[in-house]
């Protein structure tokens, strides 16, 4: 019987089981059954929801671009974000991935008037009194490598902290960095709209 997990990937941990150079893989943080792998990726500098399963069909059903599942991120950016930048983030933009231009799909973006309640990051984001920061909630239907970081940089507000909050209706919820939660198959597939 396949098994399904949600993992709060901590900052600095790779989305793969094994360590690579100085970076630790998720296998150094949690103990899961053999043949369980991460569905999709979060780069080492990002944190939050990473799905884990031994069900090989999930990868294609969830990640293939034609399936367009929503992924939502909480993003702390440098500076006081403008309405113009928020509007630009909502519209398709041309970004470079693997030396090719890619036109992004429209995104959903909202400016958060209050800092979201998140676990402290270790190490913390560098604080500078003279430079304000803003938080946004950004939802995408695609997941190109470092896409959120590239998008915020293009509009002039570099990403300082990036936390994947949800994929479709499957939320990170009360999980803390390094914690994992197992789901029953039916519930897992329903939350992901699969």
- pLDDT number for residue 62: 85
- 180 and 156 share one domain: no
Residues written for the chain? 194
Looking at the DSSP assignment, which residues form a beta bridge with residue 182? 5
Q: Taking residues 74-100, what's their average pLDDT?
A: 93
pLDDT at 191 over 90: yes
User: Residue 193 catalytic?
Assistant: no
- 85 and 47 share one domain: no
| pLDDT interval class at 81 (50, 70, 90) | very high
Q: Check 19, 31, 43, 87 and give the catalytic one.
A: 43
Higher pLDDT residue, 100 or 45?
45
What value does the mean pLDDT of the chain take?
Answer: 92
User: pLDDT per residue over 37-61, tens digit each?
Assistant: 999 889 999 999 999 999 988 988 8
pLDDT at 67 over 90: no
- 32 and 111 share one domain: no
Burial class from Cβ neighbours inside 10 Å (0-12, 13-18, 19+) for residue 154 reads: middle
- Domain count along the chain: 2
- 92 and 159 share one domain: yes
- pLDDT number for residue 26: 92
- 185 and 160 share one domain: no
Residues 6+ apart with CB under 8 A from 176: 8, 119
- 58 and 82 share one domain: no
**Residue 190 host element (H or E):** helix 185-191
CATH number at residue 23: 3.30.70.580
* CB neighbour burial string for 28-53, b if at least 16 within 10 angstroms, e if fewer: ebbebeeebbbbbebebebbbbbbbb
- 42 and 5 share one domain: yes
| pLDDT interval class at 3 (50, 70, 90) | very high
pTM of this prediction? Answer: 0.93
- 34 and 101 share one domain: no
Decide if 56 contacts 114 (C-beta within 8 A): no
- 113 and 43 share one domain: no
Decide if 53 contacts 42 (C-beta within 8 A): no
Domain coverage including residue 12: 1-65+170-194
- pLDDT number for residue 40: 85
pLDDT at 8 over 80: yes
- 82 and 114 share one domain: yes
């Amino acid at each position: 019987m396949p098994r399904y997990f949600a993992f709060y990937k901590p900052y600095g941990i790779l989305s793969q089981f094994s360590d690579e150079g100085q970076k630790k893989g998720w296998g150094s943080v949690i103990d899961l059954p053999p043949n369980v792998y991460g569905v999709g990726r979060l780069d080492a500098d990002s944190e939050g929801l990473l799905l884990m399963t031994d069900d090989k069909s999930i990868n294609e059903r969830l990640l293939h671009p034609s399936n367009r599942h929503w992924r939502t991120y909480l993003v702390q950016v440098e500076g006081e974000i403008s309405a113009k930048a928020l509007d630009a983030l909502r519209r398709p933009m041309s970004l470079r991935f693997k030396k090719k231009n890619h036109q992004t799909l429209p995104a959903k973006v909202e400016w958060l008037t209050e800092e979201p309640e998140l676990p402290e990051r270790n190490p913390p984001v560098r604080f500078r009194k003279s430079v304000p920061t803003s938080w946004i909630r950004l939802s995408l239907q695609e997941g190109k490598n470092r896409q959120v970081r590239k998008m915020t940089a293009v509009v002039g507000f570099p990403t300082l902290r990036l936390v994947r909050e949800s994929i479709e209706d499957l939320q990170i919820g009360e999980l803390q960095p390094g914690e994992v939660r197992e789901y029953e198959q039916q519930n897992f597939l329903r939350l992901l709209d699969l």
